[in-house]
A and B are shown apart, each in its own frame.
Chain A
Amino acid sequence: MTAVVAVPVAPTRPWQRRRAALARNGALVAGAAVMSWLVNARTDLSGFLGHWLAFSLAMPVLALLSSVRSGRNVATDSFSAALVTVASLAAAVPLFSIARTVWQNGSKAFYSSYLTTDMRITSSSDPLNMGGVLHAVSGTLVMVALATIISVPLGVMSALYIVEMKGRFAGVVRFLTQAMSGVPSIVAGLFVYATVVIFFTGFSAWAGALAYVILMLPTVSRTSEEVLRLVPDELRAASYALGASQARTTFRVVLPTIASGLLTAAILGIARVAGETAPLILTASYFVATSTNLNEPMASLPIYIFSNLGLGDSNAITRAWGGSLVLLVLVLVLFVSARVLSARLRRKRL
């Protein structure tokens, strides 16, 4: 009889990345790179796109060939893994191209006072050391601020109606707000044009801000609803147990708890509208000077870009790129601050 010897067996962890797999993937990428270089040297393909295309085709093929002797399942697995990887990275390529093009072309429009002058005495075809985007930046900020002041309370109210009050029409309000987020921005502009612009103010900053409100409202109410749901019911129950009214509970307990979440909601709403062009064509129109008169047409960054693009002059087009750069940076700042705020909210473990 042989003695049973307990051989210590190290547990395998098949879900962990192993060195062999890493080496295999590295070899795959290197092989595909070499193949794409060869293909590009031999055929008409060239440039970044040519290399990328050849690489994207080579990688799944190589993955298939390298694993074909392990059987059909393994071959399919590695083929689709390579395909998924290549395709999802391809989805990011245009974005880098956008960032690069906007930076390259936009920085040409910049000079020492590009951000501090407007176009009141400068024509769009004038040399690039005159004029600027101040009027467009200030117009965007003014209209966005107006829209925020109107739409954030309304959006929070409908979120409160759905979550805190659980009102009779909560389901309907929720459903229609979600549907409203899909209203094309030009339709929002057209509506404001048909009502406010024609009957009351003419082209004006007010009208632009109202179009913004229609577009912001769904985003704000949806996001505030989501953060309101994060507030633990114990908190509300504790407040009620102390004898607080619902109004007091909401204003002193619930809303302060999610203050940063509400800020995120506002920022997401702002990011949604800050780049909208179509509704402003029909509402705020364009004005070449920095202005704070809400009853007059007002410039904005998207319309600055759009109108300069329409002129066709090369200096005007460079100005359009400059405006794009400013707008992209503005949206980026909003995006990052929303991210930071919501990360902070998550850290609170709500």
Chain B
Amino acid sequence: MSTAESLEPRHITVRRPVVDRVFRTVISSGALLSLVVLALIAGFLLYRGLEIFRDFGFGFITGEKWDIGNPEDTSTAVLGIGAMLVGSVLTAFIAVVIALPFAMAAALFIEYYSPRRLRTVLTSVLDFAAAIPSVIYGIWGYAVLLPLVESWSKGIERNLDFIPFIDVPSEIFGRSPFLAGLLLSLMILPIITSVAREVYGQAPRDLVDASYALGSTKWGAIRNVVLPFGRSGLVGGTMLGLGRALGETVAVYLTLNLVFDVNFRILASAGGNVASLIATKFGEATPYELKGLMAAGLVLFAVTLAVNLLATVVVNRSRRVA
């Protein structure tokens, strides 16, 4: 009979050869570099934008006006990104609301309804859609979608102008938050679809079969098994899409009229978002204004990073459940 001591696991010492120690050091430093870059981005934007936060405080986030005043005298400047933040959130919200049902339908169709050959085609087309450059979405939105949306907007406004956010007193439509949101919805649709497809495809086969065995129709099985199973993954995918929509620059720049007023009228030709503000003002910015743009970039960075971190957590959790 052995004593208690001898049952303890043998202590193993690892002595790595020199090659391995070098290898591991190099790999680690390479991996940590990406963290350093992330920290540097936040640090530098904060460093350059700090003066702005000191000068305007919370008013920088809520303020509507962006006016550099007298370029020689920085105390005359009034900088605020309130209107742009509202625009970012509004267009991204419109995009998600439009894209979500279509993305769910596409994911369900690909996983449960489509013939096999069509499935490969649709998957490839949607994956390619995610790779189309945003400037091409932008130029298409400007040339093709703009005239369409303008005529739709007229019709919608004529019939529904009793609803506050649809009414447009100035009767100027065109480059509106609705157009930008619609275009963004096309851009985020493939992202949401691919996440949704993944989680719907992981729905437990035995539960689906069990509901068939109980006499359920296909829709019954989808409603009672697949959709509840995929809910959290879908939320995560939607947030990934939201993050993309919040940070989009060129497509919004081309399809939204930059106006420094908080505009909730989604059909009116006025709006803007933080990213397109940076792209617009950057060219002829004074040094002080540039700091303002850096601060705006920091706010955008913080918002999208928060949304994406949350989305990552949600998607990962739904994967673990699966």
Give A contacts to B, CB under 8 Å.
14, 17, 49, 73-74, 76-77, 80-81, 83-85, 87-92, 94-95, 97-98, 101-102, 105, 153-154, 157-158, 160-162, 164-165, 167, 169, 172-173, 175-188, 190-191, 194-195, 214, 217-218, 221, 245-248, 250, 271-272, 274-278, 281-282, 302, 305-306, 309, 320-321, 324, 327-328, 331-332, 334-335, 339
Contacts and interface: CB of A to CB of B under 8 A. Distances in A.
A335 B311 CA distance: 26
Contacts of B250: 277-278, 302, 306
Interface in B169-204: 186, 189, 193
Contacts of B19: 245, 247-248
B125 A161 contact: no
A77 B219 contact: yes
A167 B308 CA distance: 24
Given A91-B102, A277-B250, A195 B44 contact: yes
B215 to A, nearest CB: 9
Nearest to B145: A94
A277 B137 CA distance: 12
Interface in B212-255: 212, 216-220, 222, 240, 243-244, 246-250, 254
Contacts of B44: 191, 194-195
B132 A98 contact: yes
A179 B247 contact: no
Given A90-B102, A92-B126, A187-B300, A246 B23 contact: yes
Nearest to B275: A186
* Residue from A164, A187, A246 with most neighbouring chain B CB atoms (10 Å): A187
B38 interface: yes
Contact of B103 (A91, A97, A157): A91
Contact of B35 (A157, A172, A302): A172
Nearest to B221: A77
A165 B37 contact: no
Given A88-B105, A191-B41, A194-B45, A276 B246 contact: no
Contacts of B136: 98, 102, 275, 305, 324, 327-328
B297 A190 contact: yes
A186 B26 CA distance: 30
A321 B311 CA distance: 35
Contacts of A84: 105, 108-109, 113
A186 B249 contact: yes
Nearest to B308: A182
Contact of B275 (A95, A177, A184): A184
B149 to A, nearest CB: 12
* Residue from B22, B122, B308 with most neighbouring chain A CB atoms (10 Å): B308
B194 to A, nearest CB: 12
A239 B308 CA distance: 39
Contacts of B142: 309
B143 interface: yes
A277 B217 contact: no
B31 A183 contact: no
Nearest to A214: B37
13 contacts: A77-B220, A84-B105, A85-B113, A97-B140, A98-B140, A160-B27, A177-B34, A184-B301, A186-B247, A187-B45, A187-B247, A278-B279, A305-B135
B74 to A, nearest CB: 18
A309 B240 CA distance: 30
A98 B45 contact: no
- Of all A-B residue pairs in the complex, the 10 with the closest CB atoms, nearest first, are A275-B133, A184-B247, A157-B30, A182-B308, A161-B31, A87-B105, A77-B217, A278-B249, A88-B109, A247-B23
Contacts of B86: none
A324 B135 CA distance: 8
Contacts, number: 255
A310 to B, nearest CB: 9
B31 to A, nearest CB: 3
A323 to B, nearest CB: 9
B87 to A, nearest CB: 14
A335 B110 CA distance: 20
A186 B243 CA distance: 13
Given A185-B247, A278-B250, 12 more contacts: A81-B218, A91-B103, A157-B26, A162-B31, A182-B243, A183-B305, A184-B275, A184-B304, A194-B45, A275-B136, A277-B134, A321-B139
A282 B278 CA distance: 9
B41 to A, nearest CB: 4
B61 interface: no
Nearest to B33: A154
Given A81-B219, A182-B240, A278-B275, A250 B23 contact: yes
B236 to A, nearest CB: 11
A167 B218 CA distance: 46
B129 to A, nearest CB: 5
A221 B105 contact: no
Given A73-B220, A281-B282, A91 B193 contact: yes
A47 to B, nearest CB: 10
A165 B24 contact: yes
Nearest to A221: B34
Contacts of B106: 87-88, 91
A250 B23 CA distance: 10
B248 A184 contact: yes
Contacts of B300: 184, 186-187
A190 B45 contact: yes
A95 B125 contact: yes
Given A101-B140, A179-B309, A91 B131 contact: no
Contacts of B108: 84, 88
